């Protein structure tokens, strides 16, 4: 079955049709047990349309299709250059459809259209082209050994990989997963989040047009505890690459351990610090700190939600930061001046409002925001707390909403200790003009990414992942190719 949406907006007017089934072995099919879920419009809480959801039976069918494709028409059967050519064609097709894909993403998850087209879909295209370029450059080494045998290593695909994606960057994070996996020759079972399946469904026919053989990429929408769990525990899936919360990541790792010890990469949550020293360019620091915590309504894994400001500029920073938070504009997502949308779902809305209530209860000072915008949908005012203690819930737990907590600090040692006092370790941003202090802080924070004089800027060429409970392994960059390949040593006795 299909769904057609008529966009009649200030910036996008068109009808877009989606197939709402499961995409298995190159075609859309209905789930074995016929399950569906309603996709909700986060701007008004109304149902957009039902889409199919699969369970363990559908995952099993998809795995069989992927396994057959891997043995017959993909994996080591297809030269890297050919895989790269298809990825490159796919990138061109995404580019051709970028307005349509951005509109669908906005409709589904409430992201404003203009930045979605520029950042999300723009990054998808760049990521796919980057991995198209890598596909014929995945190489081993020849290695000298003591007994002068001829020895070398080669990189072989892992096989069938499961990829589980969250709703905060649906197509963006899908490209981060499928780009390197396909370049390296793997077959894929992709599970979008049940909250955000639209763009994954829309790219399915584009994958066919790009020439990927049936079964190479299977897209099975489904709820986490069923389809997601079935991927994590399937005995014929060799690897699972998961992006989502730390709580779910733990379940994926446990299921992988219990089943077939499949390889696991986890990109999880964060409570990232932004550190602003007295000598920073204040305008720039305010701009980036706001972007870091309010972009995508705070639904960013590396959001700089704990902001540490040195005492000399604390008051001035807070004043300017409040002004920016108040200036963010909500409205029609397709109005180019709108830069603040709703939270993705009622669950997330309630969760974020719960954290705001807890901040007030624990006597942090509410500087601005803290309330719903309007009465429809899941909009929350950009919110800033100050006078918080590091022990408070709002300072320790990932909120995943537009809520910043600002702290005052005295010196470098104190702030590095405070910033590291967390179970997470995804990212940090530091603002200073002092090179030594920048390096000390960027290196001293226990996190997978450090930004200096910028924040929350991701690039597909740089590895991304977490220390501590923020993850296991790295996505993107050359490093992702290591995770999506097995390293084989070959010894010749000549």
Cite the active site residues. Answer: 267
Asked if residue 36 lies in contact with residue 52, where contact means CB atoms within 8 angstroms, the answer is yes
| Closer residue to ligand NAD (CB): 138 or 240 | 240
Selected binder of ligand NAD within 268, 325, 352, 380 (CB under 6 A): 268
Nearest distance from C-beta of residue 272 to ligand NAD, angstroms: 10
Per-residue x/- track, 80-119, ligand NAD (CB under 6 A): ----------------------------------------
Selected binder of ligand NAD within 171, 252, 293, 430 (CB under 6 A): 252
By CB under 6 A, is residue 267 in contact with ligand NAD? yes
Nearest distance from C-beta of residue 354 to ligand NAD, angstroms: 15
Selected binder of ligand NAD within 20, 55, 163, 168 (CB under 6 A): 168
Residue located via tokens 């509410």: 366
DSSP 55: -
Residue located via tokens 């639904």: 299
Residue 5 pairs in a beta bridge with 16
Stretch that binds ligand NAD, among 40-48, 94-102, 165-173, 415-423 (CB under 6 A): 165-173
Asked if residue 457 lies in contact with residue 300, where contact means CB atoms within 8 angstroms, the answer is no
| Closer residue to ligand NAD (CB): 203 or 280 | 203
- The DSSP code sequence of 83-142 is HHHHHHHHHHHHHHTHHHHHHHHHHHH---HHHIIIIIIHHHHHHHHHHHHHTT-----E
Which of helix, strand or coil describes residue 24?
A: strand
- Return the beta strands (E) in 182-262 as ranges: 187-191, 217-219, 239-243
Burial of 311 (0-12, 13-18, 19+ CB in 10 A): exposed
Nearest distance from C-beta of residue 194 to ligand NAD, angstroms: 5
- Return the beta strands (E) in 290-437 as ranges: 306-310, 365-368, 383-386, 403-409, 427-431
Structure tokens at 438: 């920048």
Distant-in-sequence, close-in-space partners of 37: CB < 8 Å, separation ≥ 6? 50, 51, 53, 194, 221, 223
CA dist 240 and 362 (Å) reads 39
Selected binder of ligand NAD within 86, 165, 356, 476 (CB under 6 A): 165
Is beta strand 2-8 parallel, antiparallel or unpaired with respect to 13-19?
A: antiparallel
Selected binder of ligand NAD within 243, 274, 450, 483 (CB under 6 A): 243
Hey, which residues between 125 and 164 contact ligand NAD (CB under 6 A)?
164
Selected binder of ligand NAD within 12, 119, 167, 407 (CB under 6 A): 167
| Closer residue to ligand NAD (CB): 21 or 228 | 228
Nearest distance from C-beta of residue 376 to ligand NAD, angstroms: 22
Stretch that binds ligand NAD, among 51-59, 62-70, 133-141, 225-233 (CB under 6 A): 225-233
By CB under 6 A, is residue 191 in contact with ligand NAD? yes
CA dist 21 and 36 (Å) reads 9
Is beta strand 187-191 parallel, antiparallel or unpaired with respect to 217-219?
A: parallel
Hey, which residues between 194 and 213 contact ligand NAD (CB under 6 A)?
194
| Closer residue to ligand NAD (CB): 226 or 386 | 226
| Closer residue to ligand NAD (CB): 165 or 309 | 165
Residue nearest to ligand NAD (CB): 224
- Return the beta strands (E) in 166-250 as ranges: 187-191, 217-219, 239-243
CA dist 364 and 356 (Å) reads 10
By CB under 6 A, is residue 232 in contact with ligand NAD? yes
Report the run of H or E that residue 250 belongs to, with start and end: helix 246-258
Nearest distance from C-beta of residue 132 to ligand NAD, angstroms: 22
Hey, which residues between 310 and 339 contact ligand NAD (CB under 6 A)?
none
Asked if residue 170 lies in contact with residue 108, where contact means CB atoms within 8 angstroms, the answer is yes
| Closer residue to ligand NAD (CB): 21 or 166 | 166
| Closer residue to ligand NAD (CB): 185 or 269 | 269
Nearest distance from C-beta of residue 238 to ligand NAD, angstroms: 16
By CB under 6 A, is residue 398 in contact with ligand NAD? yes
Stretch that binds ligand NAD, among 37-45, 222-230, 281-289, 331-339 (CB under 6 A): 222-230
| Closer residue to ligand NAD (CB): 194 or 367 | 194
Nearest distance from C-beta of residue 286 to ligand NAD, angstroms: 24
Binding residues for ligand NAD, rule CB under 6 A, total 30
Rounded to 5°, the CA angle 56-58-63 comes to 90
Nearest distance from C-beta of residue 112 to ligand NAD, angstroms: 18
CA dist 468 and 322 (Å) reads 32
Nearest distance from C-beta of residue 446 to ligand NAD, angstroms: 15
Angstrom CA distances, 44 to 47, 110, 220, 238, stand at: 9, 10, 27, 41
Asked if residue 53 lies in contact with residue 31, where contact means CB atoms within 8 angstroms, the answer is yes
| Closer residue to ligand NAD (CB): 130 or 167 | 167
Site residues for ligand NAD per CB under 6 A = 164-168, 191, 193-194, 223-225, 228-229, 232, 243-245, 248, 251-252, 267-270, 301, 398, 400, 426, 466, 471
């Amino acid at each position: 079955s299909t769904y057609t949406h008529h966009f009649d907006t200030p910036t996008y007017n068109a009808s877009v049709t989606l197939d709402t089934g499961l995409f298995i072995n190159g075609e859309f099919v209905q789930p074995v047990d016929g399950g569906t879920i309603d996709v909700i419009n986060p701007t008004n809480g109304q149902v957009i349309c039902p889409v199919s959801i699969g369970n363990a039976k559908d995952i099993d069918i998809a795995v069989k299709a992927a396994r057959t494709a891997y043995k017959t028409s993909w994996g080591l059967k297809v030269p890297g250059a050919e895989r790269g050519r298809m990825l490159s064609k796919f990138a061109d097709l995404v580019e051709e459809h970028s307005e349509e894909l951005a509109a669908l993403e906005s409709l589904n998850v409430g992201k404003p259209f203009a930045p979605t087209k520029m950042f999300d879909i723009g990054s998808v295209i760049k990521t796919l082209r980057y991995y198209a370029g890598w596909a014929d450059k995945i190489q081993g080494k020849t290695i000298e050994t003591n007994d002068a045998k001829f020895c070398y290593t080669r990189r072989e695909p892992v096989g069938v990989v499961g990829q589980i994606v969250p709703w905060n960057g649906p197509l963006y994070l899908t490209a981060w997963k499928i780009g390197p996996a396909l370049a390296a020759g793997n077959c894929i079972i992709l599970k979008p989040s049940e909250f955000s399946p639209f763009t994954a469904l829309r790219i399915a026919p584009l994958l066919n047009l790009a020439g990927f053989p049936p079964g190479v990429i299977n897209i099975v929408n489904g709820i986490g505890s069923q389809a997601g769990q079935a991927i994590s525990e399937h005995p014929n899936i060799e690897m699972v690459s998961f992006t989502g919360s730390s709580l779910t990541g733990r379940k994926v790792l446990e299921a992988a351990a219990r089943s077939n010890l499949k390889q696991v990469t986890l990109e999880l949550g964060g409570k990232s610090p932004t550190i602003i020293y007295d000598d920073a360019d204040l305008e720039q620091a305010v701009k980036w700190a706001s972007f870091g915590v309010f972009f995508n309504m705070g639904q960013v894994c590396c959001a700089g939600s704990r902001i540490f400001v040195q005492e000399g500029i604390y008051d001035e920073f807070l004043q300017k930061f409040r002004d920016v938070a108040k200036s963010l504009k909500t409205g029609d997502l397709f109005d180019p001046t709108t830069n603040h949308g709703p939270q993705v779902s009622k669950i997330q809305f309630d969760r974020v409002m719960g954290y705001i209530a807890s901040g007030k209860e624990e006597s942090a000072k509410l500087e601005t925001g803290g309330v719903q915008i309007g009465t429809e949908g899941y909009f929350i005012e950009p919110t800033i707390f100050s006078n918080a203690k590091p022990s408070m819930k709002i300072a320790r737990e990932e909120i995943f909403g537009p809520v910043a907590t600002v702290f005052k600090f005295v010196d470098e040692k104190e702030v590095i200790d405070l910033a590291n006092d967390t179970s997470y370790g995804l990212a940090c941003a530091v603002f200073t003009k002092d090179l030594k202090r920048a390096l000390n802080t960027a290196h001293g924070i226990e996190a997978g990414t450090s930004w200096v004089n910028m924040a929350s800027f991701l690039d597909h060429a740089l590895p991304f992942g977490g220390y501590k409970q923020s993850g296991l392994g790295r996505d993107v960059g050359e490093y992702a190719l290591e995770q999506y390949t097995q390293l084989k040593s070959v010894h010749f006795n000549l």
